[in-house]
Homo-oligomer: A and B are copies of this chain.
Amino acid sequence: MKRFFYPQSVAVVGVSENPDNLGRNIVNNLVEFGFQGDIFPVGPKGGRILHLDIARRLEDLPSTPDLVVVLAPARVVPSILDACGQMGVQRVVVESGGFSELGPEGQRLEDEVRQRLRQYGIRMMGPNGLGAINLEIGLCLPFMNLPHKPRLGGLSLLCQSGGVGTNVIAWLAQAGLGMNKFVSLGNKLDVNENDLLEFLLDDPGTSLIYLYMEDLADGRRLMELGRRARKPILLHKANIGELSADIARSHTASLAVDDEVVTAACCQAGILRVHSRNEFLQAAIALQQPPLKGDRLVVLSRSGGEAVVTADACHKAGFKLPPLSPEIVQLIESRSRAGVIKPINPLDLGDIFDFSLYADVAAAFCQDPDVDGIILNYGPINDLEREAARAMAKSLIASARRHEKPLLITVIGSLEERDYFRHELGVPVFAFPGEAIRALALARNYYTCQLPAAPVVPPEISSLPAVQSLLAPHLDSPGPVPMSVALEAMATLGIPVPGRRLVASAEEAEEAALALGLPVCLKLVAPSALHKSDMGGVLLNLASGEAVRQGFEAMAQVARTHLPAGEPWQVLVMSFIEKGMEVIIGAKRDRVFGPMILFGAGGIWVEVLEDVAMRLAPLDLAAALALINQTKIARILRGFRGQGPSDLRALAHCLVLLSAFMLEFPQVQEVDLNPVRVFPEGQGCLALDARIIVGAAAS
Which residues on B sit within 8 Å (CB–CB) of A381?
144-145
Bound-state Cα–Cα, A315 to B309, Å:
30
Residue contact A309 to B604, C-beta cutoff 8 Å: no
Which residues on B sit within 8 Å (CB–CB) of A214?
305, 308
The count of identical subunits is: 2
Q: Which residue of B has the minimal Cβ distance to A341?
A: B250
Cβ < 8 Å to B, chain A residues 129-157: 144-145, 147-148
Contact with B along A77-111 (1 / 0, CB 8 A): 00000000000000000000100001100000000
Residue contact A604 to B643, C-beta cutoff 8 Å: yes
Bound-state Cα–Cα, A580 to B228, Å:
51
Residue contact B432 to A243, C-beta cutoff 8 Å: no
Contact with B along A382-414 (1 / 0, CB 8 A): 111000000000000000000000000000111
Q: Which residue of B has the minimal Cβ distance to A309?
A: B238
Q: Name the one of B251, B252, B312, B344 contacting A250, with C-beta atoms under 8 angstroms.
A: B344
Contact with B along A305-330 (1 / 0, CB 8 A): 11111011011100001000000000
A: number of interface residues (CB 8 Å): 96
Bound-state Cα–Cα, A305 to B247, Å:
9
**Is A435 part of the binding interface, using a Cβ–Cβ cutoff of 8 Å?**
yes
Which residues on B sit within 8 Å (CB–CB) of A454?
none
Residue contact B312 to A238, C-beta cutoff 8 Å: yes
**Is A364 part of the binding interface, using a Cβ–Cβ cutoff of 8 Å?**
no
Q: Which residue of B has the minimal Cβ distance to A297?
A: B243
Q: A170-B415, A243-B314 are in contact. Are A306 and B164 (CB under 8 A)?
A: yes
Q: A144-B382, A171-B431, A312-B244 are in contact. Are A640 and B604 (CB under 8 A)?
A: yes
Residue contact A642 to B348, C-beta cutoff 8 Å: no
Q: Which of A144, A305, A633 has the most CB of B within 10 A?
A: A305
Contact with B along A530-566 (1 / 0, CB 8 A): 0001100010000000000000000000000000000
**Is A636 part of the binding interface, using a Cβ–Cβ cutoff of 8 Å?**
yes
Residue contact B242 to A315, C-beta cutoff 8 Å: yes
Residue contact B163 to A304, C-beta cutoff 8 Å: yes
Q: Name the one of B145, B306, B608 contacting A635, with C-beta atoms under 8 angstroms.
A: B608
Residue contact A304 to B415, C-beta cutoff 8 Å: no
Contact with B along A198-223 (1 / 0, CB 8 A): 00000000000000101000000000
**Is A162 part of the binding interface, using a Cβ–Cβ cutoff of 8 Å?**
yes
- Shortest beta-carbon distance from A508 to chain B in Å: 26
Bound-state Cα–Cα, A607 to B350, Å:
40
Q: Name the one of B161, B350, B635 contacting A163, with C-beta atoms under 8 angstroms.
A: B350
Bound-state Cα–Cα, A655 to B538, Å:
36
Q: A533-B641, A609-B632, A642-B538 are in contact. Are A348 and B250 (CB under 8 A)?
A: yes
Which residues on B sit within 8 Å (CB–CB) of A311?
241, 243-244, 247-248
Which residues on B sit within 8 Å (CB–CB) of A250?
304, 342, 344, 348
Bound-state Cα–Cα, A370 to B575, Å:
55
Bound-state Cα–Cα, A316 to B306, Å:
30
Residue contact B304 to A252, C-beta cutoff 8 Å: yes
Which residues on B sit within 8 Å (CB–CB) of A379?
163, 167
Residue contact A307 to B242, C-beta cutoff 8 Å: no
- Shortest beta-carbon distance from A479 to chain B in Å: 23
Which residues on B sit within 8 Å (CB–CB) of A251?
304-305, 307-308, 348
Bound-state Cα–Cα, A623 to B321, Å:
40
Contact with B along A614-653 (1 / 0, CB 8 A): 0000000000000000001101100011110000000000
Cβ < 8 Å to B, chain A residues 448-506: none
**Is A346 part of the binding interface, using a Cβ–Cβ cutoff of 8 Å?**
yes
Bound-state Cα–Cα, A469 to B12, Å:
94
- Shortest beta-carbon distance from A300 to chain B in Å: 12
Bound-state Cα–Cα, A415 to B169, Å:
12
Which residues on B sit within 8 Å (CB–CB) of A166?
412-413
**Is A507 part of the binding interface, using a Cβ–Cβ cutoff of 8 Å?**
no
Q: Name the one of B97, B163, B351 contacting A412, with C-beta atoms under 8 angstroms.
A: B163
Q: A250-B342, A339-B102, A415-B148 are in contact. Are A315 and B608 (CB under 8 A)?
A: no
Bound-state Cα–Cα, A241 to B304, Å:
16
**Is A524 part of the binding interface, using a Cβ–Cβ cutoff of 8 Å?**
no
**Is A239 part of the binding interface, using a Cβ–Cβ cutoff of 8 Å?**
yes
Bound-state Cα–Cα, A412 to B144, Å:
12
Q: A241-B312, A315-B240 are in contact. Are A163 and B276 (CB under 8 A)?
A: no
Residue contact A604 to B641, C-beta cutoff 8 Å: yes
Contact with B along A353-375 (1 / 0, CB 8 A): 10000000000000000000000
Residue contact B412 to A308, C-beta cutoff 8 Å: no
Bound-state Cα–Cα, A243 to B437, Å:
14
Residue contact B416 to A312, C-beta cutoff 8 Å: no
Bound-state Cα–Cα, A389 to B239, Å:
27
- Shortest beta-carbon distance from A610 to chain B in Å: 9
Bound-state Cα–Cα, A307 to B538, Å:
47
- Shortest beta-carbon distance from A668 to chain B in Å: 25
- Shortest beta-carbon distance from A73 to chain B in Å: 12
Q: Which residue of B has the minimal Cβ distance to A169?
A: B413
Q: A144-B382, A608-B633 are in contact. Are A278 and B312 (CB under 8 A)?
A: no
Residue contact B163 to A303, C-beta cutoff 8 Å: yes
Q: A148-B415, A414-B170, A415-B174 are in contact. Are A247 and B19 (CB under 8 A)?
A: no
Which residues on B sit within 8 Å (CB–CB) of A174?
415
Q: Which residue of B has the minimal Cβ distance to A380?
A: B145
Cβ < 8 Å to B, chain A residues 178-196: none
Residue contact B244 to A308, C-beta cutoff 8 Å: yes
- Shortest beta-carbon distance from A47 to chain B in Å: 18
**Is A422 part of the binding interface, using a Cβ–Cβ cutoff of 8 Å?**
no
**Is A586 part of the binding interface, using a Cβ–Cβ cutoff of 8 Å?**
no
Lowest 3 A-B CB distances belong to which pairs? A161-B305, A163-B303, A251-B304
Residues of A within 8 A of B (CB): 19-20, 25, 97, 102-103, 144-145, 147-148, 159-167, 169-171, 174, 212, 214, 238-244, 246-248, 250-252, 254, 276-278, 302-309, 311-312, 314-316, 321, 339-340, 342, 344, 346, 348, 350-351, 353, 379, 381-384, 412-416, 431-432, 434-435, 533-534, 538, 604-605, 607-609, 611, 632-633, 635-636, 640-643
7 example contacts (A-B, Cβ-Cβ < 8 A) are as follows: A145-B381, A238-B308, A240-B315, A243-B312, A277-B432, A534-B642, A604-B643
